[in-house]
Structure 1
Amino acid sequence: MDATPPGWPEAVRPPGAPDWERTAVAWLFDLVPPDYRAHEVLRRYPVLLARFARDHVAAGLEAARSGWRTVRVELADHLPADAMAAAMTAYEREGARLAAAARGVAVVSAALRGERWVPRL
């Protein structure tokens, strides 16, 4: 099995493995809105799909960070304390998930462009 860089998504087979690009495309499409599947150009050019996924994930991460920073101020008078705590936890988890997805998109995108990761000793 080929070595994969840190952050490589579990759902994507290693570069060079049979059908690895197919698994990369499926994973990338799972990160973007379903309507993106209607764009033939994204199915035809996985490197472009990776670019779209990068931008979409980055926007979601920024939204989660913004929500975490502002939810207390905006909704403090409208939510009970336990709901506010749950909201903060949800923003933290979503931020962590999106940060991991962003790392995954970066390494998958590099592999789609033909870059190969070499582990350092």
Structure 2
Amino acid sequence: MSSSVAPPGWPVEVRPPDAPGWVGSATAWLLDQCPPEYRGHRAVRDQPVVLARFTVHHVEASRDAVHRALSEARADLPKVVDASAVEGAVQTWLHEEARLQGLRRAVGLVEEALRGRRFAARL
């Protein structure tokens, strides 16, 4: 009997691969990472691998938006807000960049598992 193993970076809200109910927990979690409109598309909602792919693209697009915002912040924002507001915005975007990096890893791991990959416990 093989045990279900979740690798580092696996989302805590998702049961490990092959655990009872794991696909349902993965689907619910993936939907939570996407715009609410995705729930209305049966082709996405009812196909976990498709949903995972959509989620990857959504998270990557969000990450790209944060990178663009960071690259423009110090040039554009001082024209309309004071220096402390600019620094606050930059710090917020840096925090969001780190969150999205972790989320991208988690979504990728769930997608791999939905495609059949299983993870081994490390000693």
What residue in structure 2 maps to residue 17 of structure 1?
19
**Which of 33, 42, 45 is 2:44 aligned to?**
42
Tell me if the contact between 2:34 and 2:55 (Cα under 8 Å) persists in the aligned partners: yes
**Which of 83, 107, 114 is 1:112 aligned to?**
114
Pairwise CA distance, 1:2: 2.3
TM-score, length of structure 1 as denominator length: 0.94
What residue in structure 2 maps to residue 65 of structure 1?
67
Matched letter for residue 50 of structure 2: L
**Which of 52, 55, 61 is 2:54 aligned to?**
52
Aligned Cα root-mean-square deviation (Å):
1.2
Matched letter for residue 43 of structure 2: V
CA distance in 1, matches of 2:40, 2:104: 23
SS at match of 2:120: coil
CA distance in 1, matches of 2:38, 2:52: 12
TM-score, length of structure 2 as denominator length: 0.93
Pairwise CA distance, 1:119: 3.5
Matched letter for residue 67 of structure 1: A
Tell me if the contact between 2:38 and 2:45 (Cα under 8 Å) persists in the aligned partners: no
Matched letter for residue 22 of structure 1: G
CA distance in 1, matches of 2:21, 2:32: 17
Can you give the 5+ residue segments of structure 2 that lack an aligned partner in the other structure?
A: none
CA distance in 2, matches of 1:62, 1:106: 17
SS at match of 1:79: coil
Can you give the 5+ residue segments of structure 1 that lack an aligned partner in the other structure?
A: none
Matched letter for residue 48 of structure 2: P
SS at match of 1:76: helix
* Percent identical residues: 43
